[in-house]
Chain A
Amino acid sequence: MDRVRLATVWFGGCSGCHMSFLDLDEFLIELATKADLVYSPVVDTKEYPENVDVCLIEGAICNQDNLDLLHKVRVRTKVLVAFGDCAVTANVPAIRNQLGAGNKESVLQCAYIENARHNQSLPKGDGIVPLLLPRVMPVHEVVKVEYFLPGCPPPADRIKALIGPMLSGAAPKLEGAQLKFG
């Protein structure tokens, strides 16, 4: 059995799903014997690599940078997992969608004009700060997703139930309480 090429990415979310991944605790040491984490916030890789077997995607798609990377991830990965409620439903970041048309302008206005005292202005400049999308989206609205792993965040045992079988080449099967939101 070849070593599994595993990746994790983090879009618009709180990183709680990644923290829950770290809550695998000592299973991480076992994981290191069977898989290479080829791209993740917790390791250092410059570019999302080719030929990734499995990628866990945390977060909703909120801005242009998120969107661009997601397309690249899809092309270069065999199995995508919508990892946690923000990826599955867009969850908390999507509350801004309820503000309707012009929501991105009004959230920026509130933070950088109304709640600022010095240099009240909207952040922009030289393509450094990515533009917010008009509407926050779950991952599967943009690309095809193979597995959905709900939870806010999915607890570590649920993550293990998903990636454990994959390490030995089996298809994971989530059911019952493993499919709970929140």
Chain B
Amino acid sequence: MMSKRIVIEPVTRIEGHAKISIFMDNEGNVSDAEFHVVEFRGFEKFCEGRPYSEMPGITQRICGICPVSHTLASAKAGDAIMAVNIPPAADKLRRLMNLGQIVQSHALSFFLLSAPDFLLGWETPPAQRNVFGLIASNTGLARAGIRLRQFGQEIIEVLGGKKIHPAWAVPGGVRNPLDAEGQARIRARLPESFATIKLAFDLFEKTMETHEREIMIFGNFPSLFMGLVAPDGSWEHHDGNLRFIDSSGSIIADQMDPRKYCEFLGESVQGSSYLKSPYYTPLGFPDGMYRVGPLARLNVCERMGAPKADEELRHFKSLGRGAVTSSFLYHYARLIEILAALEFIERSLEDPDLLSEDLRADAGINSLRGVGVSEAPRGTLFHDYTVDRNGLLQKVNLIVATGQNNLAMNQTVAQIARHYVRGKTIPEAMLNRVEHGIRCYDPCLSCSTHALGQMPLHVRLLGPDGAVLHEASRG
């Protein structure tokens, strides 16, 4: 066996909590790639025995980037255990907070983490290719991006009292109403936020013209796509049912009850990663590979339900034959979702229900199992709890967004490596691109842990006996 393995790892192994292996065949061509997540904290086990009502607080500590997703999915699982319909105002306020989170998380990904690549260029020294490099070279844009993220964070703070880990969503509803002052604070920031997102669209329009090759090879392959849709097939971020489409754009399963995910989703263990790979069970493993998150949500939905975002969605859909299959276009999808979120936030401020103080249903334990599902910024999130008669957790299963993109991330790395790796050496150009290929998915590895920002890379090309044939690093 003459195959070789290239290991790409953040040298410190810490800031990314991730590594990449690239496997070579005898001819020196890339045969496969694997993305390893190297952090594990064990939430599913150590939550056993705790009351289900603690879970919205504990599980949001899985991730500081999308704590709202976890707290909402957890509260929804709690609603199901109590078997209650929550008051309409509580539901609308939860949705408003989720929209705030979509804005902040996508703004972080686009402006602070990814834009330095588009704007400063692939060949810029990595020491400058980060948010501080962007501050130095384009303070105006950096400031606009920082303030758009701040706007999303402020919506979370206005509702929940804290920007990160708000103790607010609870089984049965939410703890605090929106007051007129908070409503005014949100309204005041909307015009600036719309202006910033327009700036981002202009910027990405130019990026698409100059990055045709990246669009071709950064995770451009057939796969299934999964996301929640509303009953009428429009974009959904908090309720609704699941739809699967294939890369031709055909619907292969529709209006699937997400609470019954066990009937159509399985999880596979990858021996050298702490991240499991979910798959669509009717097609088996690994053919049941599917992608989630902004690209998938825009592929599965028929319309956004918001006029400005719908205009952009039409342009987005024209970029694919059937589904849009390039993961580079996750960036574009993120911008469209920010725009839709801003439109929905603006619309929701007109709703008098939002100021209601009827926010919480109360009940005992009426169901021994509860599944809560929501669209996190990075994709569909499942919290599945089984409790005893006293509401103490017997079993916890969490399927997080980034895990569902695990197989696609592996394939993306292999595709980019195939394009750049020839023979026994590792071209510098590949390191930058592989890094960005992963960043397209904005992997939230805290939700199993998180790779934030630039990953310092160290690549080793290993022979069959483990000897280092070639080594390259940058940082």
Q: With A25-B150, A32-B135 in contact, do A116 and B268 touch (Cβ < 8 Å)?
A: yes
Contact partner, A111, options B44, B63, B130, Cβ 8 Å = B44
Interface residues of A in 78-129 (CB under 8 A from B): 91-93, 95-96, 98-99, 103-104, 106-112, 115-126, 128-129
Contact partner, A119, options B165, B271, B458, Cβ 8 Å = B271
In angstroms, Cα B39 to Cα A106, docked, is 16
Contact partner, B153, options A23, A46, A104, A128, Cβ 8 Å = A23
Q: With A16-B67, A47-B475 in contact, do A9 and B15 touch (Cβ < 8 Å)?
A: yes
In angstroms, Cα B40 to Cα A115, docked, is 15
Report if B450 contacts A (CB, 8 A). yes
Contact partner, A129, options B136, B165, B274, B279, Cβ 8 Å = B274
The answer to whether A132 touches B15 (Cβ under 8 A) is no
In angstroms, Cα B457 to Cα A65, docked, is 16
Report if B273 contacts A (CB, 8 A). yes
The answer to whether A99 touches B272 (Cβ under 8 A) is no
Q: Which residue of A lies closest to B11 (CB)?
A: A46
Report if B131 contacts A (CB, 8 A). yes
Interface residues of B in 33-71 (CB under 8 A from A): 36, 38-42, 44-48, 58, 60-65, 67
Q: Which residue of A lies closest to B279 (CB)?
A: A118
Selected A-B contacts with CB under 8 Å, 26 pairs: A10-B17, A14-B60, A15-B63, A15-B65, A16-B64, A19-B164, A20-B164, A23-B163, A25-B146, A41-B16, A44-B130, A65-B13, A93-B41, A106-B45, A107-B40, A107-B46, A108-B40, A110-B48, A111-B40, A115-B397, A117-B281, A119-B269, A119-B270, A128-B273, A129-B274, A153-B64
Contact partner, A16, options B15, B47, B164, B456, Cβ 8 Å = B164
Report if A69 contacts B (CB, 8 A). yes
Q: Which of A9, A15, A103, A117 has the most CB of B within 10 A?
A: A15
Contact partner, B273, options A10, A37, A129, Cβ 8 Å = A129
Contact partner, B276, options A13, A92, A112, A152, Cβ 8 Å = A112
A8-39 vs B, Cβ < 8 Å mask (1 yes, 0 no): 01111111111110110110110010000101
The answer to whether B269 touches A12 (Cβ under 8 A) is no
Report if B453 contacts A (CB, 8 A). yes
Q: Which residue of B lies closest to A11 (CB)?
A: B14
The answer to whether B143 touches A26 (Cβ under 8 A) is yes
Instruction: List, in ascending order, chain B residues with CB within 8 A of A28's CB.
Output: 131-132, 135, 146
Q: Which residue of A lies closest to B268 (CB)?
A: A118
Interface residues of B in 94-148 (CB under 8 A from A): 108, 112-113, 126-127, 129-132, 135-136, 139, 142-143, 146-147
Interface residues of A in 36-67 (CB under 8 A from B): 37, 39-48, 62-63, 65-66
In angstroms, Cα B133 to Cα A37, docked, is 11
In angstroms, Cα B12 to Cα A99, docked, is 30
Report if B446 contacts A (CB, 8 A). yes
The answer to whether B46 touches A16 (Cβ under 8 A) is no
> How many residues on chain A are close to B (CB under 8 Å)?
71
Q: A42-B453, A44-B454 are in contact. List 15 more A-B contacts (CB 8 A).
A: A16-B165, A19-B64, A28-B135, A39-B12, A42-B131, A44-B126, A44-B127, A47-B12, A47-B456, A65-B38, A92-B61, A96-B42, A119-B269, A128-B19, A156-B163
- Top 5 A-B residue pairs of the complex, sorted by shortest distance between their CB atoms: A16-B64, A46-B475, A107-B42, A44-B454, A118-B268
The answer to whether B14 touches A66 (Cβ under 8 A) is yes
Q: Which residue of A lies closest to B58 (CB)?
A: A92
In angstroms, Cα B42 to Cα A107, docked, is 5
Q: With A14-B446, A29-B143, A118-B266 in contact, do A37 and B132 touch (Cβ < 8 Å)?
A: yes
Q: With A32-B132, A116-B269 in contact, do A46 and B456 touch (Cβ < 8 Å)?
A: yes
Residues of B within 8 A of A (CB): 7, 11-17, 19, 21, 36, 38-42, 44-48, 58, 60-65, 67, 108, 112-113, 126-127, 129-132, 135-136, 139, 142-143, 146-147, 149-150, 153, 162-165, 266-274, 276, 279, 281, 285, 397, 446, 450-458, 473-475
Q: Which residue of B lies closest to A38 (CB)?
A: B127
In angstroms, Cα B115 to Cα A129, docked, is 31
Report if A130 contacts B (CB, 8 A). yes
The answer to whether A96 touches B58 (Cβ under 8 A) is no
The answer to whether B269 touches A120 (Cβ under 8 A) is yes
In angstroms, Cα B57 to Cα A91, docked, is 13
Instruction: List, in ascending order, chain A residues with CB within 8 A of B67's CB.
Output: 14, 16
CB of B428, distance to nearest CB on chain A (Å): 13
The answer to whether B135 touches A45 (Cβ under 8 A) is no
The answer to whether B41 touches A42 (Cβ under 8 A) is no
The answer to whether B46 touches A96 (Cβ under 8 A) is yes
Q: Which residue of A lies closest to B271 (CB)?
A: A125
Contact partner, B455, options A16, A23, A44, A128, Cβ 8 Å = A44
In angstroms, Cα B41 to Cα A180, docked, is 25
Report if A164 contacts B (CB, 8 A). no
In angstroms, Cα B456 to Cα A125, docked, is 22
Contact partner, B63, options A14, A23, A130, Cβ 8 Å = A14
The answer to whether A63 touches B39 (Cβ under 8 A) is yes
Q: With A44-B475, A116-B267 in contact, do A96 and B164 touch (Cβ < 8 Å)?
A: no
Report if A134 contacts B (CB, 8 A). no
The answer to whether A43 touches B132 (Cβ under 8 A) is yes
CB of B266, distance to nearest CB on chain A (Å): 4
The answer to whether A40 touches B15 (Cβ under 8 A) is yes
In angstroms, Cα B100 to Cα A144, docked, is 39
In angstroms, Cα B279 to Cα A119, docked, is 12
Instruction: List, in ascending order, chain B residues with CB within 8 A of A98's CB.
Output: 46
The answer to whether B162 touches A129 (Cβ under 8 A) is no
In angstroms, Cα B475 to Cα A42, docked, is 13
